[in-house]
Amino acid sequence: MRMLVPGFEALRRASWVLPLLLALAFAASVAGWLRHSDARDLEEERLTLIADTLSLEARISDWLTAEHAVVDRLALQLPRRVDDQFLLNHPDVAEGLRRLWVGVTVLDANNRVVAHVPHFVPQATPPRERTGVSLDDGGVTAHWSADRPGGGRLIVRFAPTALLRQTVPWWLSQKYDVRLVDALGQRLAQTGSDEAQAGTQGYRISMDPAMRETWLELNTRERHVPWWTTLAGPLMAVFIVLSALASVMLRRQMREVRRAEGEARTEAAWRRAVEDSLTVGLRGRDLEGRVTHVNRAFCDLVGYSAEDLLGSLPPMPYWLPDDMEDSLRRHRRNMAGGAPREGYEARWLRSDGRIVEVMIFEAPLVDAAGRQIGWMGSIVDISARKLAEERERRQTEALAHQARLSTLGEVASALAHQLNQPLAAITGYNAGALRILERTGPPDDMVMEALRRLGEQATEAGRIVQRIRAFLTRRAPQPEVCTMADIVARVLALLKRDLRNLRVEQALPADLPPVNADAVLIEQVLINLIRNAADELQARPQPAPRPHIRISAMLVGQRFVRVDVDDNGPGLQGRGIEQLTTAFYSTKPDGMGMGLAICRSVIEAHHGGMEAGTSALGGARLSFTLPLAEQGPRASVPQDTRQENTP
């Protein structure tokens, strides 16, 4: 920040030139707009010129086409023998001479003149001059030629000047200079001035096929005046000069203001240095509770700048939303002068979302006349002290809890040792009862099946007790080759009563390779995960979608199998596997916080890992990986074979 202050100060000192720069920018924008407007006007004038030229060319072409048709018809109507008097008396010839024609000549097959009528205009119908049109009556003419039946030709000459007189409208001749020129640019006929003036636009279009090697040319008569030669140019120059004078006066005024500000800043800097040297936050408020002063320590404490805090009224931005009523009550008490002299504790919310514990001391703020004008508060951050006290309390609770768990482990180990003999006796008595029933005669099938299942369950209970005892005495797991399908089947059989109201789905590949694991310990891990999911599903408020648990497994890479337990419950709510498997952490009111921690220890003892995430069913997913059993080459894993159990 200190490196930026000189640059900012230099920029502020040069701010007097900003109005002049803005005036120049405004003048430049106006000049650009005027230039663009000139270009747009020129383009519109050119488009209009092109349209008028095309329209006039079509009009002249239509006129010439009609005249040519009259010549062709006259050539067909004339008899074989014709003389000058016959041509002169022919109605089409007389009408053509009255309109446009200059002369009519009849040639025989040998191109000899048979009859010829010179230019003739009857006195009864003199040509009518159009207003505003000045035509050049030079000797340049054009002609049409038509073949006669039986040989010979009819040639009719006409004047381009008369053509323009007949076809150019009066309004067009006032707006443009119209010319007919040949291929070399020589003028054949025209209206208006002889040469195009500077600053005008022109457009030329071919008259072919109505008049071969002839072009129609239109030139505008009004000259285009650039914008800078109009009144706008001097006005913009005067505007820029006045802006420069105003900037000079502003610079002089700013120098005087900076001199006064420098003196005030020197005095304020001394006072601010004293306040900023303190580690205690200072907050000044008026009698209405409006913040009038804060020091740097207070801003660092709440995470807001002084500009954000000065002038603010309750509720303050650093008050906790949940404690808003208590904060308002304390504020009213302090404004009434009831703040404790020994101070009081409060919890504030920093701008970054972190909660800080503070101790506040309030005292009246008195002016030089002895009148109270507000309150001055001293704020001390006691978050570190509170955190140390909380840490010490938790360590004490953790030590007590660990002592209880240690005692519980010893009791569990002793209990497992004591249960071995009763379980062995149950197994022995059950085997003896089976042999006696088999010797005494045909036994009841239902009784025999019940006794066999009793023996299997007693044997399984003995295996579980032995493995739990081994795990509690810190012995390594006893891995063996087993299949996940068998483990899942045994777990679901044991949890049949707990899962009777839930939909349980299995998604296990048919040819999933076997794993190398302690089946009993892995069963306990699965039991813990499934029971946790069932507890979360049964604790949901009603009505809710039907509880759904899915157990799936898949091959991961070439060395591991991953087992997923999914549910459609409320999910993990942002908790990760590290938090869930922390010792003594539990989301259940009566939980010990050791279930998932022990599960993770069992999986890591098998060289696997645990993960937590979001399930495709919408709830939570807890997964663990187990190593594959060493065997020959494995076949590719086929599509899943799904099985659904609804206890």
Rounded average pLDDT over 29-48: 85
User: Residue with structure tokens 């040509």?
Assistant: 127
> What is the average pLDDT value for the chain, to the nearest integer?
78
The Cα 70–Cα 68 span in angstroms is: 5
User: Which three-class secondary structure string do you get for 233-249?
Assistant: HHHHHHHHHHHHHHHHH
- 508-566 residue pLDDT tens: 888 889 999 988 888 888 988 888 888 888 776 665 677 889 999 999 888 899 999 99
Element (H, E) at 203: strand 202-206
What string of DSSP letters covers 253-304? HHHHHHHHHHHHHHHHHHHHHHHHT-SSEEEEEETT--EEEE-HHHHHHHT-
Count CB atoms within 10 A of the CB of residue 83.
11
Lowest mean pLDDT across 2-16, 327-341, 594-608: 2-16
Nearest to 46 by CA among 173, 220, 175: 220
- 304-343 residue pLDDT tens: 988 888 888 888 888 888 888 888 888 888 888 888 888 8
pLDDT classification of 133: cutoffs 50, 70, 90:
very low
For residue 155, the SS3 value is strand
Element (H, E) at 177: strand 176-182
Nearest 5 degrees, angle CA 192-CA 193-CA 197?
A: 125
In this predicted structure, what is the pLDDT of residue 640? Answer: 44
In this predicted structure, what is the pLDDT of residue 127? Answer: 37
**How many residues are listed for the chain in this entry?**
647
In this predicted structure, what is the pLDDT of residue 470? Answer: 59
Rounded average pLDDT over 469-486: 73
Count CB atoms within 10 A of the CB of residue 568.
23
Rounded average pLDDT over 492-507: 84
More reliable by pLDDT, 526 or 459: 526
Report the share of the chain in percent with pLDDT over 90: 5
User: Which three-class secondary structure string do you get for 40-91?
Assistant: HHHHHHHHHHHHHHHHHHHHHHHHHHHHHHHHHHHHHHCCCCCCHHHHHHCH
Alpha helices (H) in 511-565, listed in sequence order: 519-538
In this predicted structure, what is the pLDDT of residue 444? Answer: 72
Per-range mean pLDDT, top range of 197-201, 370-374, 619-623: 619-623
pLDDT classification of 641: cutoffs 50, 70, 90:
very low
- 566-590 residue pLDDT tens: 998 888 877 877 777 776 666 665 5
- 67-76 residue pLDDT tens: 888 888 888 8
The Cα 510–Cα 497 span in angstroms is: 27
User: Residue with structure tokens 């000549």?
Assistant: 105
Rounded average pLDDT over 29-42: 84
In this predicted structure, what is the pLDDT of residue 472? Answer: 56
- CB distance 373 to 366 below 8 Å: yes
The answer, yes or no, to whether residue 138 has pLDDT greater than 60, is no
In this predicted structure, what is the pLDDT of residue 624? Answer: 93
Predicted TM-score of the model (pTM): 0.35
In this predicted structure, what is the pLDDT of residue 330? Answer: 87
Rounded average pLDDT over 432-445: 74
More reliable by pLDDT, 188 or 552: 552
